[in-house]
Amino acid sequence: MNELFNVNNKVIYDINTTILYTSSFNYTDDAIYYLNNNCIVITKDRSMETFEISNDIFELFHEEKLIHKKDLTKIDELKLKILASLNTTKTVFVFCNVLTYLDKAFKERLIRYLILNKKRIINYTTNIEETLLLDYLVVLHENKIIMEGKKELVLQEEKILKKLGFNLPFIVELSNGLKYYGVIDKVYFNNEELVNVLWK
Amino acid sequence: MEVAKILENKPKGYIYGLMGNINLTTNNTNYSIITDYKFNGTVSEYLNSPKAQSSLKMVLLDESYIDKKANDLSIGELKKVSLAKALIDAKDYLVLDYFDKSFNHKEIDYFIRLMKRMTSDYQRTVILFTNDITVLWNNIKELLIVDEYFVINTIPKEKYFEFIDKANEPEIIRFIKLMKELGLNVENYKNTQDLLKAIYRLKEQK
């Protein structure tokens, strides 16, 4: 894999990456680095350069109700901030623990949209379920990389993740249990696939 | 939305869960809302209390944090300091606004235990406002959902599954729904281990 960035001693490769971190990690320095390297960086509190949101985008994300909504909530504002960032020629989107505030449908539409439009995604999160959204996973604790690799491999390191205070994502935990009891022979990372294998 | 209105007529001394797309505000001086984590200066200046050290310990921060500046802290640490401040202020009502969003499971479990102790030992009332029902369902007296017209619905425990916004369904519920679509009769388990046993039993019967 090609190196995309070297961010404060962390190599970010040219692959959609989740950075799972424990609460002592401060992503501010990383966010500044990305900003200086021509990335779109979305944090919950930071205002940012925005572009016009087309009706097509509102429609695509099923968020037409936001067009005329008064009294926007913080979640509405976050969604608008993200939608307003999509009309850009920049190619790298960095989310700093913001996807966790959004509903799953919006999150999935966003990831799908960015991938279709050939954008590179880097998602900083403390939410283990979000590690399933992207291909590569880096696990950080106290500013150090504890492990990294394809998500399918890293998420099998249950002992290390537990030691860091993380449970496994639901589908991985369920798969592991079913595999242990001999019901299935591999770990699944997607609900539909596992259900179909169980009852084909 | 005025948070005190949401708890009107509710008994004190419990944890309540709150879900809905709203902004929480209050003018009621009996409430601490942990929603804005920023402060100026050092942790010591912000906490400004002889109880500062012990409060920090209760939120999983050691004594080295007392002299740190807000700018040097992560969001998770800022949230912990805000909670320490609320513990010192000891108001009757404590509102945690998406507090779970910077922590791992171990920390969330710890903070839930802390909130339970505050309600049972000190008769304080806690509102956990989040979009993640899994943080709430075994820990709250009642789930309150505020809809887009600001109607406050109190959801009985056995009906949590029916009232969770589809967009915020946890993975276990999504999985159970997929099973039901295939005609498989499974209960609405909240725990992966219970679901695992149920699937094992279903496979045995097959």
Reply yes or no on whether the pLDDT at B55 is more than 70: yes
Which are the contacts of B5, defined by CB distance < 8 A and separation ≥ 6?
Answer: B152
| B114 and B176 both lie in a single domain | no
Least reliable range by pLDDT among A5-9, A28-32, A42-46: A42-46
For B141-182, write each residue's pLDDT tens digit. 999 999 877 888 888 888 887 777 777 889 999 999 999 998
For A151-167, write each residue's pLDDT tens digit. 999 999 999 999 999 99
Instruction: Tell me whether residue B42 is in a domain.
Output: yes
| B118 and B184 both lie in a single domain | no
Mean pLDDT value across residues B78-89: 96
If one counts the domains in chain A, the total is: 2
Contact list, B165 vs chain A (CB under 8 Å)? 103
Sorting pLDDT into bands at 50, 70 and 90, what band is A49?
low
| A145 and A192 both lie in a single domain | no
**Do the Cβ atoms of A101 and B98 come within 8 Å?**
yes
| A160 and A174 both lie in a single domain | no
| A32 and A65 both lie in a single domain | yes
Contact list, A166 vs chain B (CB under 8 Å)? 104-106
| A159 and A173 both lie in a single domain | no
Reply yes or no on whether the pLDDT at A50 is more than 80: no
From first CA to last CA, the distance across chain B in angstroms is: 52
**Do the Cβ atoms of B200 and A169 come within 8 Å?**
no
Sorting pLDDT into bands at 50, 70 and 90, what band is A1?
confident
List the structure tokens of B103. 């922590």
**CB count, 10 Å around CB of A32?**
13
Mean pLDDT value across residues B179-202: 91
What per-residue confidence (pLDDT) applies to B182? 87
What per-residue confidence (pLDDT) applies to A48? 66
Assembly ipTM: 0.93
Per the structure, the complete domain to which residue A176 belongs is given by 169-200
Nearest residue on chain B to A106, judged by CA atoms?
A: B167
Going B112 to B118 to B123 to B128, the CA torsion angle's sign is: negative
For A10-19, write each residue's pLDDT tens digit. 999 999 999 9
Query: Bigger pLDDT: A125 or B35?
Result: A125
Contact list, A105 vs chain B (CB under 8 Å)? 166-167
Per the structure, the complete domain to which residue B189 belongs is given by 170-206
* pTM check: above 0.90: yes
| B121 and B200 both lie in a single domain | no
**Do the Cβ atoms of A195 and B22 come within 8 Å?**
no
| A155 and A182 both lie in a single domain | no
**Do the Cβ atoms of B192 and A178 come within 8 Å?**
no
| A130 and A151 both lie in a single domain | yes
Interatomic CA distance for residues B20 and A126, integer angstroms: 22
| B82 and B180 both lie in a single domain | no
| A70 and A118 both lie in a single domain | yes
| A66 and A157 both lie in a single domain | yes
What per-residue confidence (pLDDT) applies to A192? 93
Reply yes or no on whether the pLDDT at B206 is more than 80: no
Total beta-carbon pairs less than 8 A apart between chain A and chain B: 105
CATH code assigned at B63? 3.40.50.300
| B117 and B38 both lie in a single domain | yes
In 3D space, the residue among A99, A94, A78, A91 whose CA is nearest the CA of residue A29 turns out to be: A94
Mutation for testing the B interface, residue in A8, A73, A126 having most B CBs under 10 Å: A126
DSSP letters along A128-174, please? GGGGGTSSEEEEEETTEEEEEEEHHHHTT-HHHHHHTTPPPPHHHHH
Mean pLDDT value across residues B77-103: 96
Instruction: Tell me whether residue B165 is in a domain.
Output: no
| A116 and A159 both lie in a single domain | yes
CATH code assigned at A158? 3.40.50.300
| A114 and A151 both lie in a single domain | yes
| B137 and B74 both lie in a single domain | yes
If one counts the domains in chain B, the total is: 2
What per-residue confidence (pLDDT) applies to A182? 92
In 3D space, the residue among B61, B143, B179 whose CA is nearest the CA of residue B189 turns out to be: B179
Mean pLDDT value across residues B37-44: 91
List the structure tokens of A71. 């009294």
**CB count, 10 Å around CB of A137?**
21
Q: What percent of chain A has pLDDT over 90?
A: 88
| A110 and A189 both lie in a single domain | no
From first CA to last CA, the distance across chain A in angstroms is: 37
What is chain A's Cα-based Rg? Answer: 18
For A70-107, write each residue's pLDDT tens digit. 889 999 999 999 999 998 999 999 999 999 999 999 99
Reply yes or no on whether the pLDDT at A51 is more than 80: no
Query: Bigger pLDDT: A200 or B169?
Result: B169
| A82 and A138 both lie in a single domain | yes
